[in-house]
Amino acid sequence: MFENLTEKLTTALNILGNKGRLSEKDVDEALREVRLALLDADVNFKVARQFVTAIKDKVMNDDDILHSLTAGQQVVKVTNDELIKTLGGDVSLLKQGDESPSVILMVGLNGSGKTTSVAKLAKYLSGSGQTVSLVAADVHRPAAIEQLRLLGVQVDCDVYDKGTEEAAEVVAAEGVEHGRRLGSAWTIVDTAGRFQVDDDLMSELESIHNAVKPDEVLLVVDAMTGQESVNVAEEFHKRIGITGLILTKMDGDARGGAALSITSVTGIPVKFIGVGERVDALDQFYPDRLASRILGMGDVLSLVEKAQETFDEEQAAELEEKIRKATFDLEDFLEQMQAVKKMGPIGQVLEMLPGFSSVKGKLDSEDLDGSKMLKSEAIIRSMTMTERQKPELIGGSRRRRIAKGSGTSPQDVNQLLNQFKQIRKMMKQFSSPKGQEKMMRMMSQNKGNPFGF
């Protein structure tokens, strides 16, 4: 979502990085480009103005920065700190009530991804061992009730509904009581959306709010609607009091200004972001991590967390043993590709690597959309188990057979085998003590990135 903004911000700030001591003119020129980049990304103009003013004040009033030999890097740090502040500062966690279940009221306009976000949030909470029940309180749309039923099956959560006969506030109150009887830690109430904010919608939400007395009221906002989402958040907040936001479609190609503006304008913290269509594609919102990604510095912490969720410790130990004994084969390679896929779309995973934004434009679309990985999987699956374990046996006739079976060409098979050969060679080198020392030197020279990005 922030590709253009990242490119423009890093370009503007790199100009300062190439200078020694900074003058006020240098700072003004760079911040002018920063401000234009923010406005082009659809950031609220007041937020953009406050942002660059705050950076200039901190830089110009600090002689240590202006006269430092690393002044450019320190301006980047100031920019990063101010960006974190604009995005909300600290992470905002869900508030649990004194009694179970804690109640979350989900609200939003039609098309924002509200009902899907209910299931995603249920999946997120149940993933940490907490029990969750759902309430279908959108009594105006039978399709919404059916959608929540199906999603409930996917995320293995109980769904309470009474069709469209009862009033929404009655269904919501009974659903919360049902969750209490089940012993749920959380009950999430799905409500009706509208195509625009109207008085009928707000009156119904006020009735539901009074009936269930929620611990959290989360507004689901489509990040691709730009500044209109800020207006929607303000309207909802005035009437029912929003405690947090879920920004959906953060994996889209919109300019991203809403994500940067909404907390600063409304004062409402973003608690989660939707990063895909799958029910597990919901992430806790960390302002510092998003700021780091926007400035092209990656998001190593999120990458590590995703890896820890995906890779089993026992499997990792087995893999380490195979690497040390040089028995890593194509079957292992296939397993690792499948594990990486579980971490999310390959493009999103790569964006977490520091410096990736600077080389993204040089990569083929196949490297980013996962199609190259799918092709590699098809090739390996067309091999016999013996061929996967001993790829050196694969000659010309076997290559042709594998290519035909996988719908690829012999050249594609050759390319995969050569790639695997290089990976195995690198693994063997780095498994030795000298190789590990070499790895550390490479990481130091490339600022923590052994690939040289």
What six digits make up the tokens of 221?
């906002």
CB 264, CB 38: distance < 8 Å: no
Burial of 167 (0-12, 13-18, 19+ CB in 10 A): middle
Question: Which residues have C-beta within 8 Å of that of residue 72, sequence separation ≥ 6?
Answer: 13, 14, 15, 16, 17, 18, 19, 22
Q: Which DSSP state fits 146? A: H
The dihedrals phi and psi of 221, each to the nearest 5 degrees, come to -125, 135
- One pLDDT digit (tens) per residue for the chain, 453 residues: 566 777 777 777 777 766 667 778 878 888 888 888 888 887 888 888 888 899 888 888 877 666 665 666 777 788 888 888 888 888 889 998 888 899 999 998 888 889 999 999 999 999 888 999 999 999 988 999 999 999 999 999 999 999 888 899 999 999 999 999 999 999 999 998 877 777 888 889 999 999 999 999 999 988 777 777 888 888 888 888 899 999 888 766 556 677 778 888 888 999 998 888 889 889 898 888 888 777 776 545 555 555 556 556 666 666 666 666 667 788 888 877 777 776 666 656 656 555 555 555 555 555 555 677 888 889 999 999 999 988 888 988 999 999 999 999 999 999 888 888 887 777 666 555 565 455 445 444 444 443 333
The one-letter amino acid code at 38 reads L
Domains of the chain: 3-86 (1.20.120.140), 102-294 (3.40.50.300), 300-445 (1.10.260.30)
Specify which residues 339 forms β-bridges with.
Answer: none
> For 373, phi and psi rounded to 5 degrees?
-65, -40
Cβ of 203: how many Cβ atoms within 10 Å? 11
Beta strand residue intervals within 191-276, DSSP E? 216-222, 244-248, 270-274
SS3 content of the chain, % helix, strand, coil (to 5): 60, 10, 30
Q: How far apart are the C-alpha atoms of 165 and 394, rounded to whole Å? A: 66
d(CA 253, CA 255): 7
pTM greater than the 0.85 cutoff = no
CA atoms of 180 and 244, how far apart (whole Å): 23
